[in-house]
Amino acid sequence: MARPAKLFPSYRKHRASGQAVVTIGARDFYLGPHGTEVSKQQYDRLVMEWVAAGRTNNFGTPESTLSIAERLVDYIKHCQNHYGTGPKSTTAKIIIILRTLNAIYGDTAAAEFGVQEFKAVREKFIQAGQSRPYVNDEMAAITRFFRWGVAEGKIPAQVVQTLQMIPGLRRGKSEARETDPVMPVSDAIVDVTLPHLPPVVSAMVRLQRLTGARPAWFDLGCFGTVVLSVRSNDRGRCLKQAEAKR
């Protein structure tokens, strides 16, 4: 039977120097004279910092030297723990987006990623024929990766501060493909569909068509009753649309 993996790296003695040493991520950390209280405190501190950093193999490496590819390994582990690992999970979608970032700038130090690099990745998405709203969503996902790195102490804060100052692509102001507008369903189709809907859903559709309310404003109250929750700044528009339909 295979031995279970150790949860924590070992505190041990370096014979040549007589110092205590612990190996984390293939790097040795010397803690002071072996067996002393100071060396044991140093050991506890390093191990707890390593655990808090997600047991990364890059622990102790200066953040200015770590590449984007190395940071992506840790970020994907975080996403897998947070979002799951299924083929249709959020993690799978994030990995697809980050492949382009890794292909272009994987060898670049994460601390050196800035405006020009951001725009170069965005241009790659545009040239691939992706729509403007989708490109904006992809770049937001990349910014979230760097924000996670800052929150974990893995990437300098000024990287995210710079990226957040870059505006998204605006309609008609870029070469990105625009999507076709989503048109409302015709009243004829709604009238044909209503008799086939459950009573509660049918009532929601009728109320939405009368008031111009959005589906997100609806909720089901007690005993299947339909509740419409409208924000104060939308109430006037709904009333005007309802009046126009009378």
What string of H, E and C letters represents the secondary structure of 145-179? HHHHHHHCCCCCHHHHHHHCCCCCCCCCCCCCECC
For the segment 115-119, the average pLDDT, to the nearest whole number, is 94
Taking the C-alpha atoms of residue 181 and residue 212, their distance in angstroms, rounded to an integer, is 18
Predicted pLDDT of residue 5: 54
Identify the residue with better confidence: 212 or 135: 135
Q: Is the pLDDT of residue 243 over 80?
A: no
Quote the CATH superfamily of domain 63-163: Tyrosine recombinase, N-terminal domain (1.10.150.130)
Identify the residue with better confidence: 63 or 131: 131
pLDDT (tens digit per residue) in 126-174: 999 999 999 999 999 999 999 999 998 888 899 999 999 999 999 989 9
Pair of tokens at residue 220: 């089901």
Predicted pLDDT of residue 41: 85
Average pLDDT over the chain, rounded to whole?
A: 82
Predicted pLDDT of residue 196: 93
Q: Is the pLDDT of residue 39 over 90?
A: no
For the segment 217-221, the average pLDDT, to the nearest whole number, is 57
Identify the residue with better confidence: 65 or 22: 22
Measured torsion, CA atoms of residues 154, 158, 161, 162, in degrees rounded to the nearest 10: -120
Strand 19-24: give its sheet, edge to edge: 12-14, 19-24, 27-33
Q: Is the pLDDT of residue 238 over 60?
A: no
With the C-alpha atoms ordered 152, 157, 160, 164, is the resulting torsion angle positive or negative? positive
Domain residue limits, the chain = 12-52, 63-163, 187-245
| H-state helical runs in the chain | 37-52, 68-83, 90-105, 115-127, 132-151, 157-163, 187-193, 199-211, 232-245
Q: Is the pLDDT of residue 240 over 60?
A: no
Predicted pLDDT of residue 131: 95
Residue 232 phi, psi (nearest 5):
-60, -35
Predicted pLDDT of residue 113: 94
Q: Is the pLDDT of residue 242 over 70?
A: no
Helix axes 68-83, 90-105, angle to 10 degrees: 180
Taking the C-alpha atoms of residue 189 and residue 171, their distance in angstroms, rounded to an integer, is 31
CB atoms near residue 56 (< 10 Å): 19
For the segment 33-45, the average pLDDT, to the nearest whole number, is 86
Q: Is the pLDDT of residue 229 over 90?
A: no
- Given a contact cutoff of 8 angstroms between Cβ atoms, the answer to whether 148 and 160 are in contact is no
Q: Residue 78's pLDDT band (boundaries 50, 70, 90)?
A: very high
Percent of the chain scored above 90 by pLDDT? 43
Q: Is the pLDDT of residue 214 over 50?
A: yes
Taking the C-alpha atoms of residue 71 and residue 61, their distance in angstroms, rounded to an integer, is 12
